[in-house]
Amino acid sequence: MSVLKVIEVLSSSEKSWEDAANKAVKKASESLDEIVSVYVQDQSATVENGAIKEYRVNLKLTFKVK
């Protein structure tokens, strides 16, 4: 039987929401083993001079507890 834990993380990217999500998973995997899923809870962006400056995501990461 597996025990899973869910944490919330925030990430940002100047490229896209997908890049922001990938950055979050990559960084979290440095300290968490066995990440099994990611749920994009929220997306937002900052705007400067009429254009998107930064994409932001709020993610829930699920991983196995050892």
Burial 9-46 (b: 16+ CB within 10 A, else e): bebbbeeebeebbbbbeeebeeebeeeeebeeeeeebe
pLDDT score, position 1: 73
pLDDT score, position 2: 86
Q: Domain locations in the chain?
A: 4-64
10-residue mean pLDDT series, the chain (66 residues): 93 97 97 95 97 98 94
Strand partners, 6: 62
pLDDT score, position 66: 87
d(CA 38, CA 45) in angstroms, rounded, equals 20
User: In CATH, what number does 4-64 get?
Assistant: 3.30.1660.10
